[in-house]
Amino acid sequence: MTAIITKKTYTVDEYLEQEISSPYRHEYRNGEIILVRGGTPNHNQITLNLAGALNFALKRQPYHVFVTDQRLWVPQMQLYTYPDVMIIQQPIELEAGRNDPVMNPLVIAEVLSKSTRSYDKDEKFAAYRTIPSFSEYIIIEQVEPHVEHYYTKTEGQAWLFREYDGLDATLSLDKIEFTIALADLYDKVDFDGGIVATDAEPS
């Protein structure tokens, strides 16, 4: 969840100086600084479930899995942001002259919130598509078991689409050998109707 905290225009250096000393995370969008609010228990549980499964599946492989606090720099859009989950293939590419913002994610996953749904699916996805290494985008609902999966497969970089519904479905990545049952992705998640994913039949 995000909220605009000021209308003043900041330079990149001003943003980074403030961000390094701030106890809170902020996005930088072409001169604007936007507070990144804390997520709901569902949001955090889904993020942890996905990142944990990825980290285990990709151990001793040339990939890094990052969660929430890792800053991403998208130079073409003048955007610093904090994706929920990123997979980066080695070697990690850092912003020139800095030791923390990464630039070469292969896969990004975002857990949708009511306040960020439109931004994550439209503007943010458009920004991510300017990253040369970016090849898969996973958008995860937190109020129902539903996942949208966008991935590139053609030389022209046309984006293909898959959709997964229900706890019996299984999400499969395209660029990396990885699958996760939605029952595991949503483990310990409370949906609005009071359904808990751990009550589902094992897959």
| Largest Cα–Cα separation, the chain | 52
Token output for 49: 């479930």
- Which of the four pLDDT bands, split at 50, 70 and 90, describes residue 202? very low
What is the signed CA dihedral for 111, 99, 26, 70, rounded to 10 degrees? 20
Model pLDDT for residues 103-130, shown as the tens digit of each residue = 999 999 999 988 888 899 999 999 999 9
Distances (CA, A) of 192 to 4, 19, 90, 112: 28, 35, 39, 15
| Residue linked to tokens 């899995």 | 65
Q: Which of 6-10, 51-55, 91-95 has the lowest mean pLDDT?
A: 6-10
3-state secondary structure of 79: strand
Domain ranges (residues) in the chain: 39-199
Name the percent of the chain lying above pLDDT 70: 89
Instruction: Look up the pTM and report it.
Output: 0.89
Fold adopted by 39-199 = tt1808, chain A (3.90.1570)
Q: Which two tokens stand for residue 165?
A: 């519904």
Cα-Cα end-to-end distance for the chain: 32
Q: What is the tens place of the pLDDT at every residue in 49-79?
A: 999 999 999 999 999 999 999 999 999 999 9
Tokens standing for 179?
A: 């699958």
The dihedrals phi and psi of 17, each to the nearest 5 degrees, come to -60, -40
**Beta partners for residue 149, in sequence order:** 138, 162
